[in-house]
Structure 1
Amino acid sequence: MYAIVEMAGQQFKVAKDQKVYVHRLQTEEGKKVTFDNVLLLDDGKNITVGAPAIDGAAVEAKVVKHLRGDKVIVFKKKRRKGYKKKNGHRQSLTEIVIESIVAKGAKKAAPAKAEKPKAAPKAKAEAKPAVEKEAPAKKAPAKAKVKADDLKKIEGIGPKIAETLVAGGIATFADLAKAKPEKLSEIIADVRGNHVTDTWPEQAKLAAEGKWDELKKWQDELDGGKA
């Protein structure tokens, strides 16, 4: 029996007792984790395909350990520009072991019928215009939007990653400085490529404090965001 399941933003074909390496999970080592986004099940006789997921199906696994993958070197060069850049990255991974594949049902539950809204009493309907007239006076002023910082000034952050971080609620250097590397890895998990988030919060802290000279000196020593 095997299943195709989505785990940490990736799809895997798994079977019982199989070892799988996925993007870093927040679950502690030795604890169990359940993935319920099962896309396909094969029990040897029947194949069940979800639409898109199979209702009631799940894959249960145990977290063995957290580790980092092999180092990948990315070298960029522009002809006749004197531009050369070498980046290195080691992806944060989690090793898990598949303990069981549960197939409780292939059909998705039918959506519940929406209840028809009850008609409001006439007395309340007549009083509604008066409430609407008073509403503008009680309405609180809208909060000003916080201007986003240029996160691309952080070593290892490109335009696509900066856009993804802003969409994930991290728009300023101060927000980035408070975030944990593991949380940043989760937010940018769907961005193609290998990215090191270990030094981003510390770089952002220097940027937020306006220590640009100190930040520039440190970035010259970094390798694709990795110290």
Structure 2
Amino acid sequence: MYAIFEHGGKQYQVKKGQNIKIEKINLNPGENINFYKIIMVIEKEKIKIGQPHVQNTNITGNIIQHGKHKKIKIIKFKRRKHHQKQQGHRQNFTEIKIININTSIL
């Protein structure tokens, strides 16, 4: 069984026991979090698509750690103008382990 949920303007496909990195959440490591904006749930041959979200379904996860992704370089360059700008960015993330996909629809 796997599900697709929405968080922080992005969509994530998850299975039970999977670790994912999502946008930073202000909770401490070891705490549980529930996601309720489930877009789709698939179990073998059964598919349930929400309009816009699947009712009576949630995903439970456990926060493992907080961190930062690898640095990306942002380079702005204007040719023949002697202008160049470099900048770096490291996005914060929260790593979550999916504990369970709770559903009463299938």
Structure holding more helix per residue: 1
* Number of residue pairs matched by the alignment: 106
Question: Any residues of structure 2 matched to 1:17-166 within 5 Å, and which?
Answer: 17-105=17-105
Tell me the TM-score normalized by structure 1.
0.45
Alpha-carbon distance between aligned partners in 2 of 1:22 and 1:16, rounded to the nearest angstrom: 16
| Structure 1 unaligned spans of 5+ | 107-227
Q: Which residue of 1 aligns with 2:9?
A: 9
Tell me the TM-score normalized by structure 2.
0.95
Alpha-carbon distance between aligned partners in 1 of 2:9 and 2:94, rounded to the nearest angstrom: 13
Q: Which residue of 2 aligns with 1:194?
A: none
Identity %: 30
Higher relative contact order (CA 8 A, sep 6+): 2
| Structure 2 unaligned spans of 5+ | none
Alpha-carbon distance between aligned partners in 1 of 2:71 and 2:7, rounded to the nearest angstrom: 23
| Cα RMSD, aligned residues only | 1.1
Tell me the amino acid that sits aligned with residue 29 of structure 1: P
Alpha-carbon distance between aligned partners in 2 of 1:61 and 1:8, rounded to the nearest angstrom: 15
* C-alpha contact (below 8 Å) 1:8/1:25 kept by paired residues: no
Q: Secondary structure at the match of 1:105?
A: coil
Runs of 4+ off more than 4 Å: none
Structure holding more strand per residue: 2
* C-alpha contact (below 8 Å) 1:20/1:95 kept by paired residues: yes
